[in-house]
Chain A
Amino acid sequence: MTKTSFLTRSEAVGLAILALIIFVAFPVMLDDFRLNLFGKYLSYAFVAIGLVLCWGAGGILSLGQGVFFGLGGYCMAMFLKLEASTPEATAIQSTPGIPDFMDWNQISALPIWWQPFNSFAFTLIAIFVVPAAFAFVIGYAMFRRRVSGVYFAIITQAIAAIATILIVGQQGYTGGVNGITDLRTLMGWDIRPDGAKTVLYFVNAILLFGCLVVAMAIRKSKFGRVLVAMRDAEDRVRFSGYDVASFKIFIFCVGAMMAAVGGAMFTLQVGFMSPTIVGIVPSIEMVIFCAVGGRHSLMGAVYGALLVNWAKTTFSESFPELWLFGLGALFIAVVMAFPNGLAGLFDDYIKPRLRGWRQTPATAPQPAE
């Protein structure tokens, strides 16, 4: 068989189980507060899915995905902040009608580049276009010069550091170290009550599945196989007539857009956006979500994001000082002991048994004589 249907049976089952967990089990079992937390975890899963495409399939390790997550998040936060900064709500400011942090920083008019974010349509487009354009510039500069591997990873990490410094430094335009806070409504709809958070949880979940399907389609196309081929023997791909750089740029942009969608959903669900979510540490955490889930498995990425974030919340509630060590140990354990993450463990230990159970009744009968 050389023709493949879009989903294999095990993939369809895997998607169905994941859908049951996210759409039924979590909303039923968790209270509103926890459900919102899990919604936040799932917004990180977008980044992890993008990393499976870039890193797992294409061998492009980016340690700066937080930047794209942040770009998406900031685009959404700018829109929400403008909506929250009506002249009536900000009447006590020296310049009413502009975001509060601008007023605190003696800025007396809305900067030109903030103005389009009054439009929701523009904001939605910007959530995709801004990170994609930025990823294109980085990708073009790096991949055309054949920068790859660890050098690329270091440069993306530097970009994450620069982005944080820039956001913190330009306090009057970005809200500085506090970020953009006190977000209230989306097109007049209050996003703060529990009911709204539940709705946002489901919107997030639907978008996440959309993202998963797009990622699966890419992996199953010839593009996906070319990515794997590039990872195995880049020169062979090049000398088979492919412009390797354009393939890398494209998948890097796709990963950036996915991260940005997650960032926008993060802002909506958590109610703020700040540089602490953009920098080096969160960017590395995002890679750990992907590694723990299994960098070759799209669904594993979702489980990885859920599990690591859940562990982070649980452990940092009880042992706040130890959490970072725990995270480091987890990463070392993944690299040393199970390089293919949870998905690898599942494939190696659980899948064969499942198959065993399924086959036993089918083959065991036929009583002899």
Chain B
Amino acid sequence: MENPNFILTVEDLSVSFDGFKAVDGLSFYIEPNECRVIIGPNGAGKTTVLDLICGRTRATAGSIEFKGAELTRMREDQIVHAGVGRKFQTPSVYEDLTVFENLEISYPRGHTVFGALTFRRDGDVDARIREVAETIFLGDFLQERAAILSHGQKQWLEIGMLLIQDPQLMMLDEPVAGMSVAERKKTAELLNRIIRDRAVIVIEHDMGFVADIATRVTVMHQGKRLSEGSMAHVQADPKVVEVYLGH
């Protein structure tokens, strides 16, 4: 399957931890502007796939090519600068810093030691941070410490931190987990707005939410790809029903 239009090409990707194959010969391809949702039972290797793409875990075999660059050989921060952003499953924000400062750290400038020492908060930075804060419903919380935010607000803040990086590939691990119904609805709106001009990979269990945002769905099981296609296609796939949706 050769298609120069793919932004991300994952081929024969495998990783094993002490002999246990968490991801086993997985291949998939992401187009620019596509929203791919990965679903599957617990332990299927979904989060590990994201870990492999962003460099947190090193692949045992296989290749991950992003815009022509081989990610498996790059350091985490280099992968970020290549244009890949990642949100973690449990909200991961800087509790001791304000919402403004949290977003500022992700602002794509001054990421070297020297750059950080000489970084100036100019009008551009300020305007961009305010804009993103409005988008993630935290416009009134800029000067609050992140520790006081609710679980849902922390999730939004982390999404905002990704948004300000403006990655071409955004990876979200269970972005609506642990949210109230109202927060879930707002998050779906938020994601629908921000996934438009970029490629997105989402891991999610909430089928209503998946149907809402997915361009295509990949179903994983025991580290392998079980099925792939539109939401309707995978929902009708008997293998998928048996291992996952049926339960």
| Chain A positions near chain B (C-beta within 8 angstroms) | 1-3, 218, 221-223, 225-226, 228-229, 231-233, 235-244, 246-247, 250
Contacts and interface: CB of A to CB of B under 8 A. Distances in A.
Contacts of A231: 96
Contacts, number: 89
A242 B93 contact: no
B94 interface: yes
12 contacts: A3-B121, A222-B105, A222-B117, A225-B104, A232-B94, A236-B92, A237-B105, A238-B76, A240-B106, A240-B165, A242-B77, A244-B77
Contacts of A243: 75, 77, 111-112
Contacts of B126: 2
Interface string B38-55: 000000000000000010
Contacts of B104: 222, 225
A14 B1 CA distance: 67
Contacts of A244: 77
B119 A246 contact: no
Interface residues of B, number: 38
A243 B117 CA distance: 14
A337 B101 CA distance: 30
Contacts of A2: 100, 121, 126, 142-143
- Indicate the member of B56, B76, B85, B110 with the most A CB atoms within 10 Å: B76
Given A229-B94, A233-B93, A240-B105, 19 more contacts: A2-B142, A3-B121, A222-B110, A222-B119, A223-B113, A231-B96, A233-B94, A235-B56, A236-B158, A238-B77, A239-B76, A240-B80, A240-B106, A240-B165, A241-B81, A241-B106, A241-B108, A243-B112, A247-B116
A42 B81 CA distance: 44
A218 B94 contact: no
Interface of B: 54, 56, 75-77, 80-81, 85-86, 88, 92-97, 100-102, 104-106, 108, 110-113, 116-119, 121, 126, 142-143, 158, 161, 165
B92 A235 contact: yes
B94 A236 contact: yes
A233 B92 contact: yes
A168 to B, nearest CB: 36
A1 B56 CA distance: 37
Contact of A236 (B75, B93, B118, B121): B93
Contact of B105 (A1, A221, A229, A246): A229
A229 B116 CA distance: 13
Given A222-B105, A222-B110, A241 B97 contact: no
Nearest to A217: B117
Nearest to B82: A241
- Indicate the member of A3, A222, A244, A247 with the most B CB atoms within 10 Å: A222
Contacts of B100: 2
A246 B76 CA distance: 13
Contacts of B88: 235-236, 239
B92 A225 contact: no
B105 A239 contact: no
Contact of A225 (B77, B97, B165): B97
A20 B101 CA distance: 34
A223 B117 contact: yes
A225 B88 CA distance: 21
B117 A218 contact: yes
Contacts of B113: 223, 246-247, 250
A232 B116 contact: no
B118 to A, nearest CB: 7
A241 B113 CA distance: 12
A232 B117 contact: no
A63 B104 CA distance: 33
Contacts of A3: 121
B212 to A, nearest CB: 26
A334 B195 CA distance: 49
A232 to B, nearest CB: 4
A194 B113 CA distance: 44
A222 B75 CA distance: 22
Nearest to A296: B96
A28 to B, nearest CB: 38
Contact of A239 (B80, B108, B110, B119): B80
B94 A228 contact: yes
